[in-house]
Chain A
Amino acid sequence: MSLIADRPHSRWAVFRSFELVAGLVLVGGIGLAVILSPWLFPDNGMGVNLLARLRAPFSDWSHILGTDPLGRDVLGRVVAGGRISLLVGVASVAGGAAIGVFMGLVSGFYRGVWDMIVMRFADVQLALPFILLAITFIAILGGGLFNIIMLMIVSQWVQYARLVRGQVLALREREFVLSARSFGVSNFNLIWHHLLPNLLGPVIVLITLNVATNILLESSLTFLGLGVDPSTPSWGGMLADGRTYLQTAWWVSVFPGLAILLTVLGLNLLGDWLRDRLDPTGRTRQ
């Protein structure tokens, strides 16, 4: 289905830069806090203090966002939990994009049986929502960081392969590719120097949006008890713990969720801004 991308209007130009600035501030701020977390919170949000259980937020400067049922600093745990989320988001997307771009280039460029196999495989993976695939495999293989990242790679490379393949099919008939070919440029050079640079724009957009998606997925799985080990601070894990204390201590459930929302929102703002720059025909729209 073709959905025409929103073209920037003159009045919208202001909003475009607002998207960029807000996205950069959110993602940059959270990224910086996570990178600096070993110095900001040397105990990794693990320091138990039973004398300071369930302190309300904004009442005590040493625990600005309050403490959890074990007296651990909520802010420290939120920042430490960010490490898991960002790690899963970045690692899974890097793996998925690398495999998908390669498969898409090969199947779009050489076509044939290989192309057919990749695309039928893609149909299957697109038919099964990730969360169902994840429940099945994690129930069997167990959770943990590595398994989650692998599952995301296995289920997402297809998106990049489809995107890249479609572009290669369009690009390979263009004059600059045909002329390069007529000069006797090797297939490898054709793909590497002529095709790849011309199709990276939409791939970058998809990468940004998928980091956001995967942070959401990881937190859902961990919340459901199918993800990261509960002893490691993580946003989904904190939310699962906090549910029990919803009646008495709202802050334990509110702040980790807010961290997810703001991180994902920042990435979505950046992705939306990038889409207008790098993907004028809107191929990365769902």
Chain B
Amino acid sequence: MAGFLIKRFLQAIFVVLCVTLLVAYAIRLTGDPALMLSQGAGSVTEDDLARIRTGLGLDRPFYVQYLEFLGGLFTLDFGRSFLGGTPVNQLIGRALPATLALALASLVVSIVISIPLGIASATRQGRWPGQVIRVLSLVGLSFPNFWLAIMLVLVFSISLQWLPPSGMEGWQSFLMPALTMGIILTATNVRLVRTAMLETLKQQYVTVARAKGLSERVVLYKHALRNCAIPLITYLGIQFGGLLGGIVVVERVFNWPGLGTLAFQAVADRDYPVLQGVIVVLSMLIVLVNLIVDIAYGLVDPRIRTE
């Protein structure tokens, strides 16, 4: 177990190192931040530029700057925004809860929909509900998330005028963004619940539970569902990256004050420290969640460790 933990941990560190190196290098390709900072400042001499570079530490070799950036990661210091000089970690600290809240709400929506549907489709396999759910799940997989968001706005905000079209105020504002990502996650989760359920229902303890005369509902939701939990939780870990990627896009439609909106604002303003901070935080989150899921899975199922 210790070997597995160390190996998995080193892998995660390697991934974070590569992502940060890639992003830091890519940002360097954009040109001289000193020139960008001094734009619109009137007449700028070569001396001024040199002073800005020394001030920002840009006159030192790339590897020194990169190591410093890495060192900053440990104290969650991502530098300052080019605009206004707000520390990047403050901006991220404000936006991260909004994104995580939306991620959580989407997961809840998806779990609430996909477990009953997946079970229904597994227990009525050859009959019409199974097939209808299967087609619907393919349709759900094919939806562009941002278009689904626009369609929800069209129906619930413009036609029915039930829900606010954008922003994050009150629980109502959560409904449409969470439903958008929830529906898209459900499309894959229904299939997952279905396959896991089909496997579980073949097990002997299910037969025993039925033989004891337990009601079908207790057998399905208490005995079978609990044993499906492990593959489901693992898959939620794998999905997490895709979920965050989707949220970044959907935030844009709903003007949600999260990391996605922050990133696009940074792109528009060419505010690279902010962009760099957001990307690094998002990828670290994804790596962390996957690491936790893998370790949890390794703890529960010893076969995984030896792979």
Contacts and interface: CB of A to CB of B under 8 A. Distances in A.
Interface string A200-227: 0000000000001000100110011010
B229 interface: no
A253 B283 contact: no
Interface string B242-270: 10111011001100000000011011001
A130 B245 contact: yes
Interface in B122-155: 125-127, 131, 134, 138-139, 141-147, 150-151, 153-154
Interface in A1-49: 1, 3-4, 6, 9-12, 15
A265 interface: yes
Please report whether the interface of chain A is mostly helix, strand, loop or mixed according to DSSP. Answer: helix
Nearest 8 interchain pairs by C-beta: A129-B245, A257-B147, A265-B142, A264-B142, A131-B245, A139-B267, A124-B18, A11-B126
A48 B116 CA distance: 50
B211 to A, nearest CB: 25
A216 B142 CA distance: 8
Interface in A234-266: 239, 242-243, 246-247, 250, 253-254, 257, 260-261, 264-265
Contacts of B65: none
Given A131-B248, A132-B248, A224-B252, 16 more contacts: A1-B234, A9-B125, A120-B14, A124-B15, A124-B18, A127-B290, A131-B246, A132-B244, A135-B267, A136-B275, A136-B279, A140-B27, A223-B144, A223-B249, A253-B147, A254-B151
Contact of B199 (A4, A223, A242, A257): A4
A265 B253 CA distance: 23
A124 B16 CA distance: 8
Interface in B1-21: 11, 14-15, 18-19
B286 interface: yes
B145 A220 contact: yes
Contacts of B248: 131-132, 135
Contact of B154 (A120, A216, A246): A246
A264 B143 CA distance: 8
A269 interface: yes
A123 interface: yes
A245 to B, nearest CB: 11
Nearest to B263: A135
A9 B270 CA distance: 56
A253 B238 CA distance: 32
Nearest to A239: B147
Contacts of B263: 135
A135 to B, nearest CB: 6
A268 interface: yes
B209 to A, nearest CB: 22
Interface string A102-140: 000000000000000000100110011111100111011
B195 A4 contact: yes
A269 B252 contact: no
B160 interface: no
Contact of A136 (B23, B131, B235, B253): B23
B26 A136 contact: yes
Contact of A123 (B14, B275, B279, B283): B14
A127 B141 contact: no
Contacts of B22: 124
Most buried by B among A132, A264, A268: A132
B29 interface: yes
24 contacts: A1-B235, A3-B195, A4-B195, A15-B134, A123-B15, A124-B22, A127-B283, A127-B290, A128-B241, A129-B241, A129-B242, A131-B245, A132-B245, A135-B264, A223-B144, A239-B146, A243-B150, A247-B158, A250-B154, A257-B144, A257-B150, A265-B139, A268-B141, A269-B138
Most buried by B among A4, A216, A226: A216
Interface in A53-89: none
A76 B121 CA distance: 40
A286 interface: yes
Contacts of B282: 132
B153 A246 contact: yes
A15 B126 CA distance: 10
A272 B23 contact: no
A286 B235 CA distance: 9
Contacts of A223: 144, 146, 249
B201 to A, nearest CB: 13
Interface string B191-210: 01001101100000000000
Contacts of A269: 138
A242 to B, nearest CB: 8
Given A9-B125, A137-B26, A269-B138, A220 B15 contact: no
Given A127-B286, A220-B249, A226 B267 contact: yes
A132 B283 contact: yes
A260 B146 CA distance: 11
B30 interface: yes
Given A127-B19, A220-B145, A135 B279 contact: yes
A212 B19 contact: no
B199 to A, nearest CB: 7
Contacts of B196: 3
Contacts of B286: 127-129
